[in-house]
Amino acid sequence: MSYVTIENINKSFNDQQVLHNLNLAFEEGEFVTLLGPSGCGKSTLLRILAGLTTPEAGIIKIDGKDVTNVKPKDRKVGMVFQSYALFPNMTVEENIAFGLKMQKMNKEVIAKKVSRMIELVELKGKEKAYPRELSGGQQQRVALARSLVTEPKVLLLDEPLSALDAQIRKNLQKLLRSLQQELNMTTVLVTHDQEEAMAVSDRIYILNAGHIAQEGKPHDIYTRPANEFVARFIGNYNVLTKKQISLLIKDESQFTHDLYAVRPEAFGSEFIMDGYKISGKVQNIMPLGNITRYEIVSGGVAVTVEHLHKSYEKLQENELKTLYINKEDVIPLT
């Protein structure tokens, strides 16, 4: 029995169904990410888990208890919002202490917990500051601390980092992951950023228009996309029809599925014994910092190829090139 289970959840807004009979399960201490494009229903699912939105049907269990009809304040679930939602009239310290005060905890205990949490989220020296005096990243750390300090059973994060710029986002991802590990906090993160999902999660659910498109460990999802949607959403997979792949790799007998996916970095210039070979013209070379991206055109079909940038290996536009690929890297899609 999992720590958190979501069973047969349905939800519609104005006769438009946004969640279709969803079933999910999270283990204790697990970091799970709900990943999907904007509007696919991630926030709605998270809010249902929090109790802020009521589902039409379905059951939610946390720690073995049915909480479907329990009020948000009694669910022992913490939530961090994209907009931070800090209390503007309270200092950093008071914001973080708020949840503990609601539990009527004794003052010294509160002070101790709050100062430890401020240390954990690296906000020492900012105790007396008001939210408006902090940067976006600092505000989000306060919001995180405010939820964590109450030791919720599950921590929910709704795109907590998407309003921040890239560098701060990377740092906060690391902080988030290390805090989660240290406190062994069952965490559900919502994001539309697949890199972020890969970087922090133990497991990922990919959502598409209110359905679960695939579920699994980051590595498995990345290397084994189950369908076209996932292949296109994760990384820059080449998605090829049966006809296209047969033209590209002159070996028709092998390809029985309708669609295939190939990762751009799966191609290599070294010979592979049991692999496929493709030869074609190099086009559209794009140096992208540490990787170089280009297209190989063969039999009228173009595929994107990526490899690490090597300064001694000069690529020429329209040059003829032969590449090899492992058979298992040509992934049939359903």
Partner 1 sequence: MKRPLYHYFMIGAVVLYLFVPILATLIYSFATQWHKTILPEGLTLGWYRDLFGDVRFLEALGRSLLLSFSATALGLVVMVPTIFSIVLYAPKLEKFIQMLIVMTYAMPGVIIAVGLIRAYSGSRIPMILVTVGAYFVGILPYMYQGTRNSLRNIHAESLMEAAEMLGASRFTAFSKVIIPNILSGIIVSSLLSFSILFGEFVLVNLLAGGHFETIQTYLYQKLNTSGHIASAIVVCYFLLICVLSTIIVRVTRSKKGGGGR
Ligand X SMILES: Nc1ncnc2c1ncn2[C@@H]1O[C@H](COP(=O)(O)OP(=O)(O)O)[C@@H](O)[C@H]1O
Instruction: Tell me 257's DSSP state.
Output: S
3-state class of 311 per DSSP? coil
List Cβ neighbours of 48 (8 Å cut-off, separation of 6 or more): 6, 9, 11, 19, 54, 55, 58, 60
Name which of 206 and 221 has its Cβ closer to ligand X.
Answer: 206
The binder of Mg ion chosen from 22, 24, 43, 301 (CB under 5 A): 43
Instruction: Give yes or no for residue 39 binding ligand X (CB under 6 A).
Output: yes
Q: Which stretch binds ligand X (CB under 6 A): 33-41, 96-104, 174-182, 211-219?
A: 33-41
Q: Which does 146 bind (CB under 5 to 8 A by kind): Mg ion, partner 1, ligand X, none?
A: partner 1
Contact status, residue 183 vs residue 176, Cβ threshold 8 Å? no
3-state class of 155 per DSSP? strand
Q: Which stretch binds ligand X (CB under 6 A): 10-18, 101-109, 175-183, 225-233?
A: 10-18
List Cβ neighbours of 221 (8 Å cut-off, separation of 6 or more): 204, 206, 214, 230, 234
Instruction: Give yes or no for residue 231 binding ligand X (CB under 6 A).
Output: no
Integer Cα distance of 223 and 204 in angstroms: 13
Which residues 43-62 are close enough to bind ligand X by CB under 6 A?
43-44
Report, in Å, the least distance between residue 215 CB and partner 1: 26
Instruction: Give yes or no for residue 95 binding Mg ion (CB under 5 A).
Output: no
Site residue total, ligand X (CB under 6 A): 11
Integer Cα distance of 48 and 69 in angstroms: 11
Report, in Å, the least distance between residue 192 CB and Mg ion: 8
Instruction: Give yes or no for residue 191 binding Mg ion (CB under 5 A).
Output: no
Residue ranges that bind partner 1, judged by CB under 8 A: 50, 52, 71-74, 77-79, 81, 83, 85-89, 98-99, 102-103, 130-132, 146-147, 150
Name which of 60 and 259 has its Cβ closer to partner 1.
Answer: 60
Q: Which does 314 bind (CB under 5 to 8 A by kind): partner 1, ligand X, Mg ion, none?
A: none
* Centroid of chain to Cα 218: 9
- Which letter, b or e, does each residue of 104-143 get, where b requires 16 or more Cβ atoms within 10 Å of its Cβ? eeeeeebeebbeebbebbebeebeeebbeebeebbbbbbb
Q: Is the dihedral of CA 74, 79, 81, 87 positive or negative?
A: positive
Integer Cα distance of 277 and 325 in angstroms: 7
Report, in Å, the least distance between residue 74 CB and Mg ion: 24
Q: Which does 44 bind (CB under 5 to 8 A by kind): Mg ion, ligand X, partner 1, none?
A: ligand X
Report, in Å, the least distance between residue 192 CB and ligand X: 7
Instruction: Give yes or no for residue 13 binding ligand X (CB under 6 A).
Output: yes
List Cβ neighbours of 105 (8 Å cut-off, separation of 6 or more): 113
Q: Which amino acid is at 221?
A: I
Contact status, residue 271 vs residue 324, Cβ threshold 8 Å? yes
Report, in Å, the least distance between residue 23 CB and ligand X: 17
Report, in Å, the least distance between residue 98 CB and partner 1: 5
The binder of ligand X chosen from 35, 40, 230, 234 (CB under 6 A): 40
Report, in Å, the least distance between residue 10 CB and ligand X: 13
Report, in Å, the least distance between residue 270 CB and Mg ion: 44
Q: At 177, which helix (H) or strand (E)?
A: helix 166-183
Residues engaged in binding ligand X (CB under 6 A): 13-14, 18, 36, 38-44
